[in-house]
Structure 1
Amino acid sequence: MPTRNRGPHPNDARLFGEKYHPALRAATDDLCWLLGRGYGADSALQLVGNRYRLNKRQRMAVGRSSASAEAVARRKGRQVLLSELAGRRVAIDGFNLLILLESAFGGGLVLQGRDGTYRDLAGVHGTYKNVQHTVPALKLVGEALREASEVVWYFDAPVSNSGRLKTMLRELSEAEGYGWEILLVNNPDKELIALPDEVVVVSSDSWILDDGGSWCNLGRELLGEGKGLEL
C-alpha cells in the first residue's frame, strides 16, 4: 500500500489561519461582486489579490471559492442530491472528485465555495500518484453510488499514470461489484459538459457547473457538513 499522503501544504496552517480570515473573506466578497458585474476572472482576482496583499496560494483559494450570485443561483437550480441518484446515470469528473477526497482524508485544506461545493488546492500537475487514501476514497464513492443505474468515470488521458489508475478502478469495480465504466479522454470537462441532461455529473469544476446540465455535489455530501473552510 502506498505510504504517500495528499496532506496539507506546509504553509497552509499559517496562510489560512484565523489571522487571515477577515482579509480572505473580504477578498472573496469583492471578487464575487466583480464577477457579478462582468469582470474577467483573472483580472478581477489580480485586483483583489493586490488590494489585500494575498500571496499566490491565498489568491488561488479566493478564486476557487468565488462565484457571482447569478452563477450560484443557476448552479443550485440544476443540483441533484445524492439521495436522488438511485436509478440515474452518473458521470464522474474523476480527478476532481478523487483528489478532493484524498486531500480531505489526508488532512489537506478543503474550501467551501460560495456555491456550496468543496474544493481543494492540490491538483495533479501533469502526473498522478495514488496515495494511502486512494482506495478508501474510491470505495466510499462506490458504496454511495451502488443504486445508480450507471456510473462512468472520466479521467484525463494526458495525465501520467492515468492508465494505471484506470486499471486500479477496473479491478476494484470487479472485486466490489460496482459496475463502473472508466474512460480516459483528452478533455474530460468538454466531454462532461456535452452529456445529455439526464446524466448527472459529479464535479465541483466551475466551468462544468456553469455550462453543463444536472450535477451532484457528491464531494460535500460524502465528507459531510463543516469540513471546508468557508471564505
Structure 2
Amino acid sequence: MNNRNRRKNTGDDTLFSTQKQIDKLKVALQDMRYLLSRNYAEKASTDLVGNHYRLKARQIQALRGASASELQIQNRKSKELRISDLKSKTIYLDGFNVLILLESLLSEAYIFEGTDGCFRDLSGVHGTYKRVNQTQRAIELVALFYKKSQSENLIWIFDKPVSNSGRIKEMIVDFAKENHLDWNVELEFNPDKFLAENAEIMVSSDAWILDNCKNWFNLVGYLIDEEKLSVNLVKMF
C-alpha cells in the first residue's frame, strides 16, 4: 500500500474553514448565479467575481464548480432520481469523477456542495490516475450503494486516454468477481459524450454531463447521509 492521499492542500484551511471566507464565497456564488442566469460566459463571470472578491485560485476553482444558472439548476433538479427509482435498473458511473471525489472525501479534503445539490472536490486526474490509500474504501462504498439500490447492473466508465485507467479497471473487475457483483467496467475515449448519449441513469457531478444526460443520481449525497460519512463540507449556498 502506498502513502498517497487526496488530502487538502496546505493553505486550504485558511481559504475554506473560517466563517469570513465561507460568507465571502456564498456572496460570490450568488453573483455567479445572477450572471450565469443572464447568459454571461462562465469564464468572464468567474474572472469578474473572482477579482471583485479577491479570491485565491483554489477558491475560484471551488466557486466555478459550485456555480450554475437558474435554468441549469432547474434542468438538473428535474432529472434527479431517488434511490427507489434505481431498482432493477442499469446505472452508469462516471468512473474517475466518482472515485476521486470519494477518495478526497475519505482523505478529509474539503468537499463543496453547489447550488445544484451536487458535491465536488478540488482534485483532478491531469492525464494520470494514481491509486491512493482510500481507493479500496471508495469502491466498497459504491458496492454498499449498489446493494441497497437493488439495481440490476452497474457500469463504470473510465477515460481510456488517462494513464493507469486499465489498472483501475482491473482492480474493480477483480473486486466485483470476489464480491459477486454484477458490474462492468468500460474504457471510453470520450466518456462525457458516451454517458450523455447512452446512459439512461448515470452518476457524475460533472456540469456538462449533468446538463446533457437523461437522468442522474446524487450518489455522494446519498452516501454521506446513508453511511453517516464524516465530511469536511463547505456548503456554498
What TM-score, normalized by structure 2, do the two folds share?
0.93
| Matched ranges for 1:39-118 at <5 A | 39-118=40-119
| Matched ranges for 1:134-145 at <5 A | 134-145=135-146
Q: CA offsets per residue over residues 72-126 of structure 1, 9 Å max, x none?
A: 1111111012232110110000011111100000001100010001100101111
What residue number does 1:160 align with? 163
Query: C-alpha distance in 2, partners of 1:102/1:161?
Result: 16
Query: C-alpha distance in 2, partners of 1:87/1:153?
Result: 17
User: Is the aligned partner of 1:229 residue 2:237?
Assistant: no
Partners of 1:71 and 1:210 within 8 A in 2:
yes
Structure 1 moving runs of 4+ over 6 Å = none
User: Is the aligned partner of 1:194 residue 2:192?
Assistant: no
1:207 Cα deviation from its structure 2 partner = 0.5
Partners of 1:102 and 1:137 within 8 A in 2:
yes
What residue number does 1:169 align with? 172
Partners of 2:103 and 2:134 within 8 A in 1:
yes
Partners of 1:85 and 1:145 within 8 A in 2:
no
Partners of 2:92 and 2:156 within 8 A in 1:
yes
Query: C-alpha distance in 2, partners of 1:172/1:73?
Result: 37
2:152 to 149, 153, 157: 149
What residue number does 2:122 align with? 121
1:7 Cα deviation from its structure 2 partner = 1.0
Query: C-alpha distance in 2, partners of 1:31/1:70?
Result: 13
1:10 Cα deviation from its structure 2 partner = 1.2
Code of the residue aligned with 1:167 in structure 2: it is E
Partners of 2:152 and 2:182 within 8 A in 1:
no
Partners of 2:130 and 2:164 within 8 A in 1:
yes
Structure 2: gaps of 5 or more residues: none
Question: RMSD over aligned Cα, in angstroms?
Answer: 1.3
Partners of 1:200 and 1:215 within 8 A in 2:
yes
Q: CA offsets per residue over residues 194-231 of structure 1, 9 Å max, x none?
A: 015xx210011110111111000001111228943111
What residue number does 1:12 align with? 12
Query: C-alpha distance in 2, partners of 1:212/1:132?
Result: 31
Matched residue SS, 1:216: coil
Query: C-alpha distance in 2, partners of 1:2/1:149?
Result: 34
Q: Percent identity?
A: 40
Aligned residues, how many? 229
Matched residue SS, 2:6: coil
1:185 to 188, 193, 197: 188
Partners of 1:79 and 1:215 within 8 A in 2:
yes
1:37 Cα deviation from its structure 2 partner = 0.3
Partners of 1:89 and 1:148 within 8 A in 2:
yes
Matched residue SS, 1:92: strand
Moved more, 138-147 or 122-131: 138-147
Query: C-alpha distance in 2, partners of 1:143/1:53?
Result: 42
Structure 1: gaps of 5 or more residues: none
Code of the residue aligned with 1:10 in structure 2: it is T
User: Is the aligned partner of 1:31 residue 2:36?
Assistant: no
Code of the residue aligned with 2:206 in structure 1: it is D
